[in-house]
Amino acid sequence: MTKPLIVVTGAGGFIGGHLVAALRRSGDVRIRAVDIRSEHDWYQRFPDVESLQLDLRLREACFETCQGATDVYQLAADMGGMGFIESHKAECMLSVMINTHMLLAAREHGVKRFFYSSSACAYNVELQRAAQVVPLKEADAYPALPEDGYGWEKLFSERMCRHFTEDFGLYTRVARFHNVYGPFGTWDGGREKAPAAICRKVIEAAESGEHVIDIWGTGEQTRSFMYVDDCIHGIRTIMDSPAVTEPINLGSSELVTINQLVTIAERFAGFQLERRYDLGAPKGVNGRNSDNTLIREKLGWEPSLPLEQGLRHTYDWIYAQFRARRSGQRVAV
């Protein structure tokens, strides 16, 4: 029999690259990896994976992507860390074209299962004013008041998945990611998220000898951070679960301040830095954490790798990338 064909969009990026790697390890499948970037710029590449460079904002590219596929993992989006999404709201919202065309193509080509990667940015911002935030439950996305731009696009695309299931019978699964971090991802250039940015800044301070770090906001804003291995396990388990029929949180419940995140990275470097706070920089909501009651109930599991352990892996990888770039090697950022 022909092996099933699994499509991963956004495969040249951080989470997509790790997902392709995990699917390869699982064995008896064919994989089609798709990204807008040249394959030379992908974070992870594999010779036995069909790799396509396509702009999925275009309808014809999505139909080419889904041809012959059994499962689709739709991770493609124009996004980045808070500095990017707060200054590129229109570009982030244009990702709705990707999700619309991918759903239409999946329906047309008879795709059996469709996974959509949403975000905790879909949650009502009024519930995230305090740093000591009450963990966000799935129902807290309504009444709708998500983060402007990126959050609205995510919430709208969640609704499209729901209605494609209701109207056309397409099997869809939606996970709301909470701050995924780890190696083989963006760590410089403006699109990196807080864990990678802080690791890089600490490394730069160590290498320069200046021992100063700039922190956006007061540093007291709170977040939870999920290591990428937990994220990949969650994606695949959610996709396979008959019990998960509504959007579900996929995130750690280990709440830390940004200052605490800096302190952990400082321990890896072996010294403390002078902290300068940029109160005018983008910082997002004051507090956000994942309520994991539903995922424990539905899957008997939740992301659990301690932040310090995962950040150590991330710091070491970024340090190696930093040193390689400084020596003149080409690295992806």
Q: Interhelix angle for 194-208 vs 307-326, to 10°? A: 50
Label residue 198 by pLDDT band (50, 70, 90): very high
Distance CA 25, CA 6 (A): 13
Helix or strand (DSSP H, E) at 176:
strand 171-177
Q: What is the pLDDT of residue 148?
A: 93
Q: What is the pLDDT of residue 80?
A: 76
> Which residues, other chains included, contact 260 with Cβ-Cβ below 8 Å and sequence gap of 6+?
none
Label residue 26 by pLDDT band (50, 70, 90): confident
SS3 161: helix
Percentage of residues in the chain with pLDDT exceeding 90?
Answer: 88
Q: What is the pLDDT of residue 27?
A: 82
Q: Check pLDDT > 80 for residue 94.
A: yes
pLDDT in tens, 296-332: 999 999 999 999 999 999 999 999 999 999 999 888 7
What average pLDDT does this structure show over 154-182? Answer: 98
What average pLDDT does this structure show over 178-187? Answer: 95
What average pLDDT does this structure show over 169-179? Answer: 97
Cβ 68 vs Cβ 108: under 8 Å: no
Distance CA 39, CA 52 (A): 8
181 included as an active-site residue: no
Q: Of residues 150, 181, 315, 319, which has the active-site annotation?
A: 150
What average pLDDT does this structure show over 105-129? Answer: 97
Cβ 130 vs Cβ 98: under 8 Å: no
Q: What tokens appear for 66 in the block? A: 């889904």
Backbone angles phi, psi at 48, to 5 degrees: -95, 10
What average pLDDT does this structure show over 113-133? Answer: 95
Q: What is the pLDDT of residue 160?
A: 98
Q: What is the pLDDT of residue 84?
A: 81
| Top-ranked range on mean pLDDT: pick from 19-28, 38-47, 52-61 | 52-61
* Whether the model pTM is above 0.85: yes
Domains of the chain: 5-181+225-250 (3.40.50.720), 194-223+254-290+305-326 (3.90.25.10)
SS3 71: strand
Label residue 60 by pLDDT band (50, 70, 90): very high
Backbone angles phi, psi at 118, to 5 degrees: -95, -165
What average pLDDT does this structure show over 42-53? Answer: 96
Label residue 149 by pLDDT band (50, 70, 90): very high
Q: What is the pLDDT of residue 191?
A: 87
Q: What tokens appear for 103 in the block? A: 């759903």
Residue 10 — left, alpha, or beta (φ > 0 → left; ψ -120 to 50 → alpha)?
left
pLDDT in tens, 214-242: 999 999 999 999 999 999 999 999 999 99
Angle at 60 between CA 56 and CA 64, to 5 degrees: 85
